[in-house]
Amino acid sequence: GQSIAVFTSGGDACGMNGAVRACVRMAVYLGCQAFMIREGYQGMVQGGDQFVKATWASVSSIIHVGGTIIGSARCKEFMEREGRKKAAYNLVQREINRLIVIGGDGSLTGANIFRIEWTGLLDDLVASGKITPQQREKCKDLHIVGVVGSIDNDFCGTDLTIGTDSALHRITEAIDSIASTAYSHQRIFIMEVMGRHCGYLAMVSGIISEADYVFCPEAPPPLDWHERLCSKLQKERECGQRLNIIIIAEGANDLNGEPITAQMVKQVIFDRLGWDSRITVLGHVQRGGATSAYDRILACRMGAEATVAVLESTATTTPVVIVLVNNQIERIPLMGAVERTQAVNKALQDKDWAKAIALRGVA
Ligand code: ADP
């Protein structure tokens, strides 16, 4: 049968293990040899025991574990052709020319560059006597499929990325515990959540915690937000509300593109109202912990589909990324989705908020 390799790359997320497990088991089920590559592209470039032959049993008891047990890394070498040539050599040695990459848009972009260069890399390896023409023939084309693991839900074309739901569980638990103590003392809590350039985690956190104010990168507040925020807080106090929650996305900014930080908000409240507030930066708590039921099932569905897709890939098919649309698992062109994701980030940089939101396709 065919050989397939799966690896995780970029930032870790809950559910990545479930996706690896599903890829491996579907490959075994279909009579293929599955490999897991440790430490993402770093392991692919290094070779040796970073390539692990996987069996049905090797991915047992990992579906619930957060992060990624096969490791993830950033890899500078893979950004250069020389590094990618080493990676190609390590793959061809094991007759692997079908890859499933579980990562963010950077990792997926890297895989596509690798795919485009593949033939040239193998020609070089034949010319330098590192591989034989027979080996090249056996691995003629590189087939790639993407699965998006990211707690930020920052990828275009999918309703959810693997890891978002678990991160929201962590955020909910943290906010609930803080809220119960805050309620006893009439306090204002400012909470910073992750999400990089994406306000999804902040927006959902805001709704589920009945927050008074949410700062998102895509929807900067009016320039007089200082005044609006403080008069809202004041009105609520007058109505007898004891607890105030303000959520800030780590990438929050104002209409001029200047960052809005938890410290700034705290200062504004103090200067204008003389009220003290507490800052909680949820940080890495959001990445860890048990994988939610939803992320587990999403990972199973996406991983299984990725294996089928990578096996069905031919020299003429467009590489795909596995996505969730209207609760159905689908394949969409990989680079179209990556380019749209990168266009969102560009629009945010250009302070074209409306364009960013339209591109992202948020209802
Ligand atoms: P993410 O996948 O979460 O967006 P990064 O952007 O850090 O994370 O990418 C992870 C790794 O993917 C990088 O360390 C690098 O090895 C590889 N990669 C990213 N972009 C490229 C690229 N343009 N060319 C080659 N490799 C890339």
Residue nearest to atom 19 of ligand 1 (CA): 106
C-alpha to C-alpha distance for 157 and 360, rounded to whole angstroms:
8
pLDDT bin (cut points 50, 70, 90) of residue 150 is: very high
Confidence of residue 331 (pLDDT cuts 50, 70, 90): very high
Does ligand 1 lie within 6 Å of residue 333's CB atom? no
Cα separation, 144 vs 196, whole angstroms:
26
Tens of pLDDT along 1-23? 899 999 999 999 999 999 999 99
Cβ–ligand 1 distance for 104 under 6 Å, the answer yes
- Tens of pLDDT, residues 35-87: 999 999 999 999 999 999 999 999 999 999 999 999 999 999 999 999 999 99
Q: What is the mean pLDDT of residues 250-260?
A: 95
43 close to ligand 1 (CB < 6 Angstrom): no
Length of the chain: 363
Q: Whose CA is nearest to atom 14 of ligand 1?
A: 74
Positions marked active-site: 152
The pLDDT assigned to 363 comes to 37
Query: pLDDT at position 179, please?
Result: 84
Distance 4 CA to ligand 1 centre (A): 21
Q: What is the pTM of this model?
A: 0.95
What confidence category does residue 259 fall into, taking pLDDT thresholds of 50, 70 and 90? very high
Residue 40 CA, ligand 1 centroid: distance in Å: 10
User: Ligand 1 pocket, 109 CB below 6 A?
Assistant: yes
CB of 207 within 6 A of ligand 1: the answer is no
DSSP for 240-287, written as a single string: T--EEEEEEETT-B-TTS-B--HHHHHHHHHHHH----EEEE-GGGGT
Element (H, E) at 330: strand 328-333
Residue nearest to atom 24 of ligand 1 (CA): 110
Mean pLDDT over the full length of the chain: 95
State how far the Cα of 186 lies from the Cα of 126, in Å rounded to an integer: 72
Residue 234 Cα to ligand 1 midpoint, Å, equals: 46
Handedness of CA 309, 315, 317, 323 (dihedral sign): positive
What share of the chain has pLDDT > 70, as a percent? 99
Q: What is the pLDDT of residue 288?
A: 87
Atom of ligand 1 nearest to the CA of 41: 16
Q: Which residue has a Cα nearest atom 15 of ligand 1?
A: 75
**pLDDT tens-digit profile of 204-238?**
999 999 999 999 999 999 999 999 999 999 999 99
DSSP string, 157-189: T-S--BTHHHHHHHHHHHHHHHHHHHHHHTEEE
What is d(CA 41, CA 50) in angstroms, rounded to the nearest whole number?
Answer: 10
* Residue corresponding to tokens 């109505």: 239
Q: Kindly state if the Cβ of 107 falls inside 6 Å of ligand 1.
A: yes
Distance 214 CA to ligand 1 centre (A): 30
Q: Is the pLDDT of residue 89 over 50?
A: yes
Specify the ligand 1 atom closest to the Cα of 42.
Answer: 16
H-assigned helices in the chain: 16-29, 40-46, 81-93, 105-127, 133-138, 164-185, 200-208, 225-238, 262-273, 293-312, 334-349, 353-360
Question: Would the CB of 342 count as within 6 Å of ligand 1?
Answer: no
* Structure token pair of residue 154: 């920052």
Instruction: Choose the residue to mutate in 37, 107, 335, 339 for probing ligand 1, maximizing ligand atoms within 8 Å of C-beta.
Output: 107
CB 11 within 8 A of CB 71: no
Distance CA 196, CA 250 (A): 6
pLDDT tens for residues 281-324?
Answer: 999 989 889 999 999 999 999 999 999 999 999 999 999 999 99
Asked if residue 99 has pLDDT above 90, the reply is: yes
Q: Is the pLDDT of residue 362 over 60?
A: no
What separation in Å is there between the alpha carbon of 18 and the centre of ligand 1?
22
Find the 111 Cα to ligand 1 centroid distance in Å: 9
Tell whether ligand 1 has an atom less than 6 A from the beta carbon of residue 79. Answer: yes
What confidence score (pLDDT) does residue 205 get?
A: 96
CA of 163 to the centre of ligand 1 (A): 18
ipTM higher than the 0.90 cut: yes
Say yes or no: CB of residue 110 within 6 Å of ligand 1: yes
The model's pLDDT over 271-284, given as tens digits with 9 standing for 90+, comes to 999 999 999 999 99
